[in-house]
A and B are shown apart, each in its own frame.
Chain A
Amino acid sequence: MLTIALYFAGSIITYFTKKASAIIAFIFAVLANIAFVFTKPLNFHLANFNLNFSLTPLSYIFGIIILTLASFVMFCYPNTKERQYYPLFLLSLTGISIILLSNNFLSFFFGWELMSVSSFFLIYNNKDRKAGLLYLVASAVGAYGILMGISVVYAKTGSILFSSFSQNLNLFSRREIVYLIFLFGAGFGVKAALMPLHIWAPDGYREARDPFTAFFSGGLSKLGIYGFLLLLFVFIGTDRFATFHITKWTLAWLGGLTAFLGGFYAIFQTDIKRLLAFSSISQMGYAITALSLSTSLGVTASLYTVLSHALFKGILFITAASVILRTGKHSFDELGGLVKNMPLTFIVSVFAVIGLNGVPPMGGFPAKWLVYEGLIKAHYPGLIALMFAASTTAFLYSYRFIHGVFFGKRMPSLKNIKEAPFVNILSSTILMLALLFIGMFPGWVVDFFSPAIKFLGFKVMVHTFGTLSTPLGNFNGFLVGIVFIIAGLFATIVSLFFSRKMRVSSIDTYSSGEALTEETPYHYSSNFYLFIQRDFSGFLRLSARKFYFSIARFIENSAQGLRRIYTGNGQVYIWYVIIVWIGLIIGFLYKGGFK
């Protein structure tokens, strides 16, 4: 409870402080973060409703991941000078902590709305109003889904407590439960940007204030996963949900399609933050597929994905924030060659990208490995192919990110760009070390998850501090990490001997005999994957957004048709009245008139 109070107090105080609000906000965030871990259960009555708050093992894990990331992002240098940045950030954290701590539907919904609205104000700006409004509409649709779900539950059980729902599950028929999954799933799916509901995400992430985007993608979207875990395994129950084969199957394939299509669209983005946004959509697809397997491996994989994604996407969005802060440019077409100006940012983001690709020894690998093992264990041979295809697209878009920002010949206009602010580098370095840590000691991470996994009703997988074992195979993250370090040292030493380095300038490259100057644009960055784009142009033109907008246009046009009747002209209405009267009289006479 103290957490919520601290966040709320922080958000009010930072509204009135001016220059010091960064420090105050950070202090409040850290204090609230610590307070979260020691939350005591609390009960109070409000207007006949019994509101109870307590920390469950699941919300403990999610709280630590999300709120800690929030503190790190809060620590970063803000790109915006708006005074409402910190208050709204803290207000959205207030909402999140209410969601995580509440054990009843009423405060859960209140927190959900608080989070949505406060993050809406951080997206909405005058440059692109549509992006913010789209987020608001999508959130509203999701919130209505949740609200309807809650009202269905309340009508049946007469209580808003989580526990009474899960205890009185027998009251619900099988069809009603599927209906509830659909309603709640719409709300959680919007937050996690599950594929048909993702339309707000690319533009929303692009327009969100920096570096709040890092938290938006890394932390806030995880609440969708939290909601799904809560709904499927706590409310409905692990054993009960295991019998819903078609629902499971649908959710798994939706997640798989999200993972693949998100990655595929990310390849062709020219905007830094849009690319990362599609990548986030893709990664959340992994988490949803993993959890919908409803096995021990699947849930572990889902939690692992949540953790690793929070870390590396946090770093990458902080990098994007630094780049945008220093250059003022969003597009890969205008960037390039920044490795000379921002070497530290580059190193950090290379490690993050390795994590994003799921290459050992970084933390992204155990997550992907668990997803694959879980899918094989659960007999989804088709879906595993799709997931692997999705992870292959990650190589393409993450290289585009790294190449577009840091590599190639630098434009003359970017020559005087400074290194990113120290606070950004510091916080992303700490996140990077955490990413390396969870890659090398996957067993400890599973230890950390084990209360939540048990709470959800699964067995914890076999593990030691560095090894994960499934019935299919094992992965020794510690050995891989050690071998990586030793082999890397060996290769570095080899590379330092032998021939001398001869530093050459950027114009001293092979150019088929063309005489290059500093100004010559000799850089390949725009239309990076043009050859794929050309061959799949028809497919790429399809989008869910266009589909929704065409529905909207259809409704608008039919409303226009209706408007022809309701012209607003008084004479026409009198004619209508006369026609109705005549019709009634004719009908009356036809029926037989007065008898």
Chain B
Amino acid sequence: MTWAILMPFILMFAGLLYMGFARKIHARIQKRYGPPFYQNIYDVIKLFSKREAAFHGGMFHFGPVLSLTGIIMALMFLPVGGKPLFSFQGDLFVLLYLAVIAPWGMALGAGNAENPLASVGIARALTLMLGYEIPFFIGIIPIVVRTHTTQIVEIIQLQQINGWNVILFPISALASIIALHAMLGNKPFDQPIAPHEIASGPLVEYGGKYLGILQLYQAGAILLSTGIYVDLFFGGASNVWMFFLKTFLIYFVLLLIGEVLPRFRIGDALKFFWKWPLGIALLGLLVAVLGGVR
């Protein structure tokens, strides 16, 4: 219980550090020195201590609140390094749907910003979601069908006996990791917040504490999506440090891939997802079904 309450905040804190590392790596690739890796923590503290924050109406306020609520809830239901937290009370599908509350909150808040750029950003984010959610989900069906459970903790335990799912279902894991890449908002798929086109999209009108809350949400979302992937494909983790190591490695590798790729046009991104990752995921499902997984 204590861990369930504390863990979301630890994970959000870790997410801020991950984002700091990302900024550092981004800078080093561009031959800049870059800010220190703890810069994002300073940023959040700065944003919360701003004197004023622009306010566009009730939902503009409650959008970020809903985001923070959603991310805290979702992290409470994610098994983290040997600690199941609440995950026996809600299985994989519950977690996947809880993970939607936070982006939904941001979408509602951004919609109330009375700025079309925010709306364009959300429209793009939802379009991208239509692209990546389907391959991600099809990628994890073989696991669920094979282990015949949707409890994440049981999936982790079975992986410790039978070997990691990434080895058992390499094709599905590939499809899901491409989807994960988009979930993290990494480079070829950063259309929703494309700074040069739509001025950071949904975040365009946000400032002060609201931006601080949304930063916390983004930090949590990094750990949430990589955490789900690690739990499902990389055998979970026996302790918290191992969990952080694995999630960071995945985050780091995807970051390096993303940094050298240019942005897709949004329609092309959707087509890409419905062509390659979806095809790979369906192939993975077919192979799994033909391989006797029922």
Contacts and interface: CB of A to CB of B under 8 A. Distances in A.
Q: What is the interface of chain B mostly: helix, strand, loop, or mixed?
A: helix
Contacts of B126: 395-396, 399, 529
A47 interface: no
B151 interface: yes
A532 B88 CA distance: 38
Given A408-B119, A474-B88, A480-B73, A502 B134 contact: no
B114 A509 contact: yes
Contact of B90 (A480, A499, A504, A511): A480
B69 A488 contact: yes
A314 interface: no
Nearest to A263: B130
For this complex, into which size category does the number of interface residues on chain B fall?
A: 35 or more
A502 B90 contact: no
Contacts, number: 237
A392 B117 contact: no
Interface residues of A, number: 76
A340 interface: yes
Given A359-B97, A392-B134, A403-B119, A474 B91 contact: yes
A376 B72 contact: no
Contacts of A472: 91, 144, 148-151
Contacts of B59: 339, 346, 350, 407
A502 B289 contact: no
Nearest to B294: A379
Interface string B141-152: 110110011110
Nearest to B153: A473
A483 B119 contact: no
B151 A395 contact: no
Given A510-B117, A534-B267, A528 B73 contact: no
A359 B56 CA distance: 26
Contacts of B271: 535
Given A357-B100, A359-B100, A529-B127, A476 B89 contact: yes
Contacts of B58: 339, 343
Interface in A67-90: none
Interface in B110-137: 111-117, 119-120, 122-124, 126-127, 129-130, 133-134, 137
B108 interface: yes
A565 interface: no
Contact of A373 (B57, B138, B150): B150
Contacts of A381: 141-142, 145, 285, 288-289
A473 B91 contact: yes
B61 A495 contact: yes
A435 to B, nearest CB: 16
Contacts of B73: 480, 483-484, 487
A491 interface: yes
Contact of B119 (A500, A506, A524): A524
17 contacts: A339-B112, A359-B98, A369-B93, A381-B288, A385-B282, A388-B134, A396-B130, A488-B69, A491-B69, A491-B72, A494-B65, A495-B209, A502-B52, A510-B115, A524-B123, A528-B119, A529-B127
Sorted from nearest, which 3 A-B pairs have the closest CB atoms?
A473-B91, A524-B116, A407-B111
